[in-house]
A and B are shown apart, each in its own frame.
Chain A
Amino acid sequence: MLNVGKIEEGFVLDHIEAGKSLAIYHHLQLDKLDCTVAIIKNARSNKMGKKDILKVECDINTLDLDVLAFIDHNITVNVIKDGEIVDKKVLTLPKEIKHIIKCKNPRCITSIEQGLPHIFVLADEKKEIYRCKYCEEKAGDTPSSW
């Protein structure tokens, strides 16, 4: 069993679906932060069998939780201060996401006009379906297809 120490201030993103942590690392732009980040892959989990965990030692206002909710709103977000959990954030699906994913429809106007923002809107909350704001193409189901 690998041990990763406690963080003093920041976030612990728990219950990430195994294999998704690197995608989340990139989407949250953690590579651009000058702080300690621990990526734990395939940790044992009673609930999920295997899970990923991300520990980020940073100011708690730094992260865009909307992005996280879009990627997987079942992730547990623990807010840490002075080494203790002070809050658990509930993630809700954002109504709109911008510049997170690109539209893959070759007939979409975004395929020829490079300056346009890639915007997806929540079309069906129950089925968690996002559609391109311009052409209404459905967003891919998994990060690998984004």
Chain B
Amino acid sequence: MRHLMNPLDFTVEELDRLFDLAEDIAASPSKYAHACEGRKLATCFYEPSTRTRLSFESAMLNLGGQVLGFSDAGSSSAAKGESVADTIRVISCYADICAMRHPKEGAPMVAASRSRIPVINAGDGGHQHPTQTLTDLLTIRALKGRLDHFTIGLCGDLKFGRTVHSLIEALIRYPGIRFFFISPPELRVPDYITDSLKEKGIAYEEVIRLEDCMPELELLYMTRVQRERFFNEEDYVRLKDFYILNNEKMALAKDDMLVLHPLPRVNEIAVEVDDDPRAVYFKQVQYGVYVRMALILTLLEIKVE
């Protein structure tokens, strides 16, 4: 029995198989409509995350399965002081697979160690959110046909953004990846990541302004710059507009560059960009459902001929 705790739990070959399956699901969803009949997914969400929970639930319902669960710790036995290890033992009797989100880092791993059913980490604090990374990778692969030899810009909060860190770690397993890190100095990518890139001989550049690298990018991964990360309001106001992607900046980009964003968006991508065919962040949400469907089938070892 396998679990998914970290996007790197799967080898590149295993990810290829997962993405092949996800793309087949996208092409012929009806073929998979009954694949999980009689199976149940438990969504154990100890903190609210409507988007991720609905994506998992949509994935299981698309496969003909059923869902049960809770959406915040207050409505679960955790409020009475039950340990994660005990909860998963109980959930193992109710469901066939579990997606767990928890504010404490490592909680899904504790669950996996005691579980009789596969556990998927649906986000644990600031630590990992592997299905977001799988979503990002599938979106790139499905729309570009490959995961290697890209120049990718990551823009915004590169210091605290776990989706960015996971995506970097996942992409460096493919050859020919070159990074542009676009952020204010206050939110630059942590040293341990740049040190690791240097060690592996992977090319990267750090720039302050989007305009400085826009024409070179084949992929642009936008993230939100959050006001609370700044020490003072003045710095925030000074820097936030650098990272608003609008049609003017898009005009500098290649015709086939793709813009991704893990969502929710606040104001870092102007609404006018939504109509640009290169803006794929809403398609990304759809790929998130497909990759979760493929993941559920893979972890439940269900094969559809």
Contact = CB atoms under 8 A, between A and B. Distances in A.
Contact size range, A: 10 to 19
A110 B83 contact: no
A19 to B, nearest CB: 28
B83 A107 contact: no
A113 B83 contact: yes
Contact of A107 (B84, B110, B126): B126
B110 A105 contact: no
Contacts, number: 48
Contacts of A113: 83-85, 110
B3 to A, nearest CB: 14
A84 B102 CA distance: 56
Interface of B: 83-85, 102-107, 109-110, 124-127
A135 B125 contact: yes
Interface string A110-142: 111101100000000000000011111100000
Nearest to B109: A134
Nearest to A110: B106
Contact of B105 (A115, A116, A134): A134
A16 to B, nearest CB: 30
A109 B84 contact: yes
Contacts of B85: 113, 115-116
A133 B85 CA distance: 16
16 contacts: A107-B105, A107-B127, A109-B102, A109-B109, A109-B110, A109-B124, A110-B106, A111-B104, A113-B110, A133-B106, A134-B106, A134-B107, A134-B110, A135-B106, A136-B105, A136-B127
Given A107-B126, A133-B106, 12 more contacts: A107-B104, A108-B104, A108-B105, A113-B83, A113-B110, A132-B106, A133-B109, A134-B107, A134-B109, A135-B105, A135-B124, A135-B125
A105 B105 contact: yes
Contacts of A107: 103-105, 125-127
Interface of A: 105, 107-113, 115-116, 132-137
A116 B127 CA distance: 18
Nearest to A111: B104
A67 B83 CA distance: 29
B104 A112 contact: yes
A121 to B, nearest CB: 12
Nearest to A136: B127
Contacts of B103: 107
The 10 closest A-B pairs by CB, nearest first: A134-B106, A135-B105, A109-B104, A109-B106, A109-B107, A135-B106, A107-B125, A107-B105, A113-B83, A108-B105
B110 A116 contact: yes
Contacts of B105: 105, 107-109, 134-137
Nearest to A114: B83
Contacts of A111: 104
A109 B110 CA distance: 8
B191 to A, nearest CB: 12
Nearest to A135: B105
A133 B108 CA distance: 12
Nearest to A103: B106
A132 B110 CA distance: 12
B105 to A, nearest CB: 4
Nearest to B192: A138
Contacts of A136: 105-106, 127
A111 to B, nearest CB: 7
A134 B128 CA distance: 11
Contacts of B126: 107
A106 B304 CA distance: 44
A136 B85 CA distance: 19
B161 to A, nearest CB: 16
Contacts of B102: 109
B64 to A, nearest CB: 34
